[in-house]
């Protein structure tokens, strides 16, 4: 079906909107879209945890009972609270179920869908165990959030363009094409000061303006979906949960900058995102919303070369892909564009802080109760994100630090928990916003080990073109390895600092220049931990295995022999009459004995 003009788009929108009204908290007539919509999260963690089985069982129930016109079943994108997945939500009553298993469908169907009595035991739980029926409104994970980029994720069917159209999808593009000149679009984006959400925070409007200014027959719009920060998955979630918002934004960018072709670069680790983008592109084309030649290549390192940086200038807005002017924005940045066009710059500027407008999506991970995806106004404090929304550190452990900005960033310690999360405050603390990975570390995390981990990543990812990055980061990794193995000395700490400075000033691209940050930041805030490793040959957190010792407590050992049976290297000896002991020379410090001991008689000695 080709939508001939804006009127046709609006007719379809109004019709779909009526069908979706019960999901949007509006008055509805069951004749339009049925009496109940059941949404099952079909991606990421929930998918991995078996949400397909829930969907299939519900589908069977609906078919068996011939209720297709009354009850609509939808597989959605990410709903956010991944830690409690698989998730499902029913509308219009907005009941959220967590940890759902396929076998729970029977009870949900009988009690709730047919009987009107929600199943309390599956409600979302707060960290203190309280069950919350209307979690999307009332659970502390959701109540402080504000969604712009993730607005449609978990609410619409990402494989159905009509659902996107029903929630004002492609209206921003229509508005641009009909009522705005390309200059107006660029002025709007400049006025909104939408800063890039991929890491550097460069204003999107300025990028678009410089690309628009170039006189070139061919220009490109590129979307960076090569989410590289390990621990961040917001781009994946947007692509899987709301792919059309990206296509719409790229088309708007094309109009504003005078580009006719778009590319989306997706990581091979995200096959579902690739598949869904493919479907979305096909549908947008069928509905006449995208031209035939737009956005054709997926999953390719586009020019077919090794991905290596080159010196700037020229910037990519002058000479980018295939040497043509190119606009490159990341997924989350693009996802904001249609909303800004539709709701206006005053609305957008009213959210966030003075120099960081709008919201930011964070991927909460590590030692945190509510692992998942959250979107909050810029300037929300780290404390609110970790303790209110994230539910704090599990297992009564103390919060130690949060790492933002991934391998390019640094850590924020407990003393800075009240830092507002925005571009400039984070930079001031020696870390950065980055793409929004937020990894929480507790007292049992070793900061030297974390620094080593990030260096390992950088060494892997370094393209090898410039020596400061190729050799320098490798040297830094060697030194941190030495320290975690208990072979470091105090001079190593100075050398780390020297190397960091050299790499920062000498590397060719952002990856290299920012690679030393995790070391610099942990050295700044946790120098005592480095010193403990170097001078006392101790890992205070008990992580670095070379400095660990597993010891069987002779007094409490019940001589059951389970530890010896499970030891993979035969390092434990003893018998019914003599307490078991570990031969420290043979021990590989795997910790199996400690986890198997039924009497907790084995201790880890840092």
Partner 1 sequence: MTCEKCQKEQAALQEIILKHKGTPGALIPILHEAQNLYGYLPAEVLHEISKGLEMPEAEVYGVATFYSQFSLQKKGKYRINVCLGTACYVKGAQDVLDKFKLRLMIDVGECTDDGLFSLEACRCIGACGLAPVVTVNGEVYGRMTVDKVDEILDKYEALAASEKEAEEA
Residues at the contact surface with partner 1, assessed by CB under 8 A: 44-45, 47-49, 82-83, 85, 227-233, 236-237, 268-271, 297, 299-307, 322, 363, 365-367, 371-372, 403, 406, 437, 439-441, 445, 450, 453-454, 457, 460-461, 463, 568, 588, 590-592, 595
Nearest residue (CB) to partner 1, 74 versus 402: 402
Nearest residue (CB) to partner 1, 185 versus 547: 547
Q: In angstroms, give the least distance from the CB of 83 to partner 1.
A: 5
C-alpha 592/C-alpha 26 separation (Å) is 56
Query: Are 159 and 276 contacting, i.e. CB atoms less than 8 angstroms apart?
Result: yes
Q: In angstroms, give the least distance from the CB of 9 to partner 1.
A: 33
**Region of residue 508 (phi > 0: left; psi between -120 and 50: alpha; otherwise: beta):** alpha
C-alpha 384/C-alpha 592 separation (Å) is 37
Q: In angstroms, give the least distance from the CB of 268 to partner 1.
A: 4
- CA 489 from chain centre, in angstroms, equals 37
Nearest residue (CB) to partner 1, 113 versus 373: 373
Nearest residue (CB) to partner 1, 76 versus 188: 76
Nearest residue (CB) to partner 1, 118 versus 405: 405
Q: In angstroms, give the least distance from the CB of 226 to partner 1.
A: 11
Q: In angstroms, give the least distance from the CB of 271 to partner 1.
A: 8
| Integer angstrom CA distances of residue 336 from 179, 193, 343, 426 | 20, 11, 11, 22
Task: Output the CA torsion 114→119→124→126 (10° steps).
Answer: 150
Longest dimension (CA), the chain: 89
Nearest residue (CB) to partner 1, 30 versus 271: 271
Q: In angstroms, give the least distance from the CB of 481 to partner 1.
A: 13
Task: Output the CA torsion 537→540→545→551 (10° steps).
Answer: 90
Nearest residue (CB) to partner 1, 304 versus 313: 304
C-alpha 488/C-alpha 491 separation (Å) is 8
C-alpha 498/C-alpha 496 separation (Å) is 5
Nearest residue (CB) to partner 1, 172 versus 232: 232
The length of the chain in residues reads 606
Nearest residue (CB) to partner 1, 237 versus 380: 237
| Integer angstrom CA distances of residue 314 from 62, 440, 504 | 59, 38, 21
C-alpha 80/C-alpha 251 separation (Å) is 27
Q: In angstroms, give the least distance from the CB of 459 to partner 1.
A: 12
Nearest residue (CB) to partner 1, 365 versus 379: 365
Q: In angstroms, give the least distance from the CB of 138 to partner 1.
A: 21
List, in order, residues 6 or more apart from 492 with CB less than 8 Å away: 479, 482, 483, 534
What's the sign of the alpha-carbon dihedral 533, 539, 545, 546?
positive
Q: In angstroms, give the least distance from the CB of 463 to partner 1.
A: 7
Q: In angstroms, give the least distance from the CB of 216 to partner 1.
A: 16
3-class secondary structure, 195: strand
Q: Of 414, 444, 449, which is closest to residue 429 (Cα–Cα)?
A: 414
C-alpha 47/C-alpha 257 separation (Å) is 38
Nearest residue (CB) to partner 1, 92 versus 230: 230
Q: In angstroms, give the least distance from the CB of 552 to partner 1.
A: 19
What's the sign of the alpha-carbon dihedral 530, 606, 231, 306?
positive
- CA 210 from chain centre, in angstroms, equals 30
């Amino acid at each position: 079906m080709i939508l001939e003009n804006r009127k046709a788009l609006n007719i379809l929108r109004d019709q779909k909107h009526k069908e979706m009204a019960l999901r949007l908290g509006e008055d509805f007539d069951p004749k339009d879209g049925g009496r109940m919509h059941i949404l099952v999260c079909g991606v990421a963690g929930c998918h991995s945890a078996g949400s397909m089985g829930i969907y299939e069982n519900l589908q069977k129930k609906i078919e068996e009972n011939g209720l297709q016109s009354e009850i609509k079943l939808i597989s959605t994108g990410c709903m956010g609270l991944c830690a409690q997945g698989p998730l499902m939500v029913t509308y219009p009553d907005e009941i959220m179920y967590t940890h759902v298993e396929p076998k729970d469908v029977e009870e949900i169907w009988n009690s709730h869908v047919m009987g009107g009595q929600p199943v309390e035991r599956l409600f979302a739980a707060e960290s203190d165990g309280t069950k919350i029926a209307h979690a999307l409104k009332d659970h502390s994970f959701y109540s402080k959030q504000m969604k712009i980029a993730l607005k449609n994720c978990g609410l619409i069917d990402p494989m159905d363009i009509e659902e996107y159209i029903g929630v004002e999808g492609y209206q921003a593009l229509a508005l641009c094409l009909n009522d705005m000149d390309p200059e107006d679009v660029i002025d709007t984006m400049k006025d909104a000061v939408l800063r890039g959400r991929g890491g550097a925070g460069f204003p999107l409007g300025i990028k678009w303006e410089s690309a628009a200014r170039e006189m070139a027959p061919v220009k490109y719009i590129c979307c960076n979906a090569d989410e590289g920060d390990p621990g961040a998955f917001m781009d994946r979630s947007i692509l899987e949960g709301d792919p059309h918002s990206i296509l719409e934004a790229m088309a708007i960018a094309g109009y504003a900058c005078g580009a006719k072709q778009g590319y989306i670069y997706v990581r091979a680790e995200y096959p579902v995102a690739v598949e869904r983008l493919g479907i979305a592109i096909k549908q947008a084309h069928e509905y006449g919303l995208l031209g035939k030649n737009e956005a054709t290549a997926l999953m390719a390192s586009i020019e077919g070369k090794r991905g290596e940086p080159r010196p700037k200038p020229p910037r990519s807005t002058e000479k980018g892909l295939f040497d043509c002017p190119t606009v490159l924005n990341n997924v989350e940045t693009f996802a904001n564009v249609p909303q800004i066009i539709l709701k206006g710059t005053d609305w957008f500027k009213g959210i966030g802080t003075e120099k960081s407008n709008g919201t930011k999506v964070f991927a909460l991970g590590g030692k945190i109760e509510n692992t998942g995806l959250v979107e909050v106004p810029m300037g929300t404090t780290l404390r609110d994100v970790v303790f209110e929304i994230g539910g704090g550190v599990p297992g009564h452990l103390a919060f130690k630090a949060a790492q933002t900005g991934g391998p390019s960033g640094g850590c924020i310690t407990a003393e800075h928990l009240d830092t507002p999360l925005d571009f400039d405050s984070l930079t001031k603390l020696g870390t950065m916003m980055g793409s929004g990975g937020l990894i929480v570390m507790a007292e049992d995390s070793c900061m030297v080990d974390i620094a080593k981990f990030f260096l390992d990543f950088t060494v892997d990812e370094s393209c090898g073109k410039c020596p400061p990055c190729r050799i320098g980061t490798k040297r830094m990794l060697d030194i941190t390895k030495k320290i975690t193995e208990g072979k470091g000395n105090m001079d190593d700490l100075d050398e780390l600092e020297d190397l960091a400075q050299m790499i920062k000033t000498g590397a060719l691209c952002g990856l290299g220049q920012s690679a030393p940050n995790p070391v610099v930041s942990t050295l700044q805030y946790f120098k005592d931990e480095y010193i403990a490793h170097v001078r006392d040959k101790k890992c205070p957190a008990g992580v670095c295995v070379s400095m660990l010792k597993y010891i069987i407590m002779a007094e409490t050992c019940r001589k059951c022999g389970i530890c010896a049976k499970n030891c993979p290297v035969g390092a434990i000896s003893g018998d019914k009459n003599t307490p078991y002991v570990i031969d420290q020379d043979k021990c590989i410090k795997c910790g199996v004995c400690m986890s198997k001991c039924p009497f907790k008689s084995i201790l880890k000695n840092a």
